[in-house]
Structures are given as structure tokens and as C-alpha cells.
Amino acid sequence: MRVFVRFYEELNDFLPVAKQKCEFEVVFPGTRSVKDLIESQGVPHVEVDLILANGESVGFDYLVQDGDRISVYPMFESIDIAPVTRLRPAPLREMRFVLDVHLRKLARYLRLFGFDVLFDASFDDAVLAEISARQKRVLLTRDRGLLMRRIVERGLIVRNTDPKMQLHEVLMRLDLYSSCKPFSRCLDCNGLVQPLEGDIPLTHIPAGVYAWCREFYRCTGCGKIYWKGSHYEKLKGFVKTVREIGLAREKKS
């Protein structure tokens, strides 16, 4: 069996240089689905939004035919492809995430911006895939093999290695800048943070802080108490910078 394949836009990130931005030949014995063909080239199926076989839209279960010309596209941000077979699942009403062990700092940054993020260093690949599928969470990872697991429907390969750049990458690729709710979640446990009302447990607050501060917040999950000290001001500045970058990118587009 001989077919001709071309990947478009950021899907080329997964390919060797010789196969990037050009049509190339793939030869294999027997029959296989187009999903298997795509992943045999190192591209996770969750990164794909549209497949054309000889100009016709097909699903992942399409059985590749000898001589086929296969075009593979990532998510379209500005082109309406509603009339064709869109392969990504319907958008989630609420964007929630589960992250692998290598994205600890990204997990904290996403929580800082108010997103529901599950992170546990003990989660192995099978657990991560199961949580993503069962709870309909977007699986973020740098391991393309993890996103090739059949049960994973929603996922993203994080390209950057710097945590702050990873944050921008996720917010930009998933168009989430306008969905941020900074300081609404606990950075440690992911619980919701709410104003602390009634009696204030002074044993949990340094005496020096209570001397100047009367505005406190508590995580509904782990009970951690927060206040707007110097660390808050630093994080506030970081949040402002990220939002300004997002606004600038939206204006350019």
C-alpha cells in the first residue's frame, strides 16, 4: 500500500525536517485506518481537526486506500469548517485540565489564572488518560505517546519548556485569555478561594500580618489562608503582564 501524506501548520512540529511542509510518500503492508497512519508519523490524533482523503473529508476510522492523497490539518481558528467532518469533540462548557508530572509549574500558573487543574506527581500515564476521558479534562503533556492512547479525546502537546511560555502557549492555542479568573483558586490544592468571614483564626495568621491586614481569604479545599501581601503584589504584576500580552495578540489577529 502506497499513500501520499501532507501535514499542515503546527502539526509539522512533530515531523522530521525532511517531511515538514511538503507531501511525502508512506508505504506499508495491508490496510490501516487513517488514525493509525497519522500516529505512525508521530502526530497525536487529539491535535488533528480535519482530514481530507483525495479532497473529501473523512473520519479517523477511514481505511486508507492505495494511492490516496491524505491532507491533515490542526484546529482552525478563523475558518469555518462546519460543513465537513470535524474530528475534535464539541467544545467544553468549562475548560478543565489534568497535567502530567513534568508540568508542575504550569499547573500552578493555570490555577493562578483560575482554571480547574488536577495535578498529582503520582499519576501514571494510564491514570492521566482515564481521568481525562472520564472527567472530560484536557490532558496537557509533553509526551506525544500519552496523547496517542485511544481513550484520550482532548489533549494538547505543550511545545515550550519554560513554564511562563507554556502558560502563554496554552492560553493562546485554546483562546483562554478572556476566560481567566485570577486568584480564584488555591495554587496548592486547586480548591476555590473565598473571602474569609466571621471569626478569623489568628493561629493561622502571623501576628505581624494581622497588625496591618484585615482582609483574608481561605481555600475551601485545604483551608489555606491567603492575604494581599508582597507576594500577592508580585503575582498581580505577573497576571497584568500576561493579560496585556493576550490583549495585544487579540488585536493583531
Are the CB atoms for 76 and 10 separated by under 8 Å? no
Residue 230 is assigned to a structural domain of this protein? no
Do residues 10 and 42 both lie within one domain? yes
Do residues 37 and 113 both lie within one domain? no
Residue 92 confidence (pLDDT)? 55
Do residues 42 and 101 both lie within one domain? no
The total number of structural domains in the chain stands at: 2
Across residues 127-142, what is the average pLDDT? Answer: 96
Residue 148 is assigned to a structural domain of this protein? yes
Q: What is the mean pLDDT of the chain?
A: 90
Residue 134 is assigned to a structural domain of this protein? yes
Residues 11-48: pLDDT tens digits? 999 999 999 999 999 999 999 999 999 999 999 999 99
Listed in sequence order, the residues at least 6 apart from 128 whose beta carbon sits closer than 8 Å to its beta carbon are 98, 100, 139, 141, 146
- For residue 87, pLDDT over 90 is answered with no
Show which of 161, 185, 209 is a domain's final residue.
Answer: 185
Do residues 13 and 65 both lie within one domain? yes
pLDDT band at 209 (very low <50, low <70, confident <90, very high): confident
Residue 243 is assigned to a structural domain of this protein? no
Residue 159 is assigned to a structural domain of this protein? yes
β partners of residue 27: 2
Domain membership of residue 121 as a residue range: 96-185
Residues 113-127: pLDDT tens digits? 999 999 999 999 999
Do residues 148 and 110 both lie within one domain? yes
Show which of 185, 208, 231 is a domain's final residue.
Answer: 185
Across residues 139-145, what is the average pLDDT? Answer: 95
pTM attached to this predicted model: 0.82
Full DSSP string of the chain: -EEEEEE-GGGGGGS-GGGTTS-EEEE-SS--BHHHHHHHTT--GGG--EEEETTEE--TTPBP-TT-EEEEE---SSS--TTS---SPPPPSS-EEEE-GGGHHHHHHHHHTT-EEEE-TT--HHHHHHHHHHHT-EEEES-HHHHTSTT--SEEE---SSHHHHHHHHHHHTT-GGG--TTSB-TTT--BEEE--SS--GGGS-HHHHTT---EEEETTT--EEE-SHHHHHHHHHHHHHHHHHHHHHHH-
Are the CB atoms for 142 and 105 separated by under 8 Å? no
Residue 202 is assigned to a structural domain of this protein? no
Residue 218 is assigned to a structural domain of this protein? no
Do residues 41 and 117 both lie within one domain? no
**For the chain, how long is the longest CA-to-CA vector?**
77
Task: Residue 39: give its domain's CATH number.
Answer: 3.10.20.30
Residue 93 confidence (pLDDT)? 57
Do residues 120 and 62 both lie within one domain? no
Show which of 185, 205, 224 is a domain's final residue.
Answer: 185
Are the CB atoms for 111 and 191 separated by under 8 Å? no
Residue 56 is assigned to a structural domain of this protein? yes
β partners of residue 51: 72
Do residues 175 and 100 both lie within one domain? yes
Residue 82 confidence (pLDDT)? 46
Do residues 123 and 178 both lie within one domain? yes
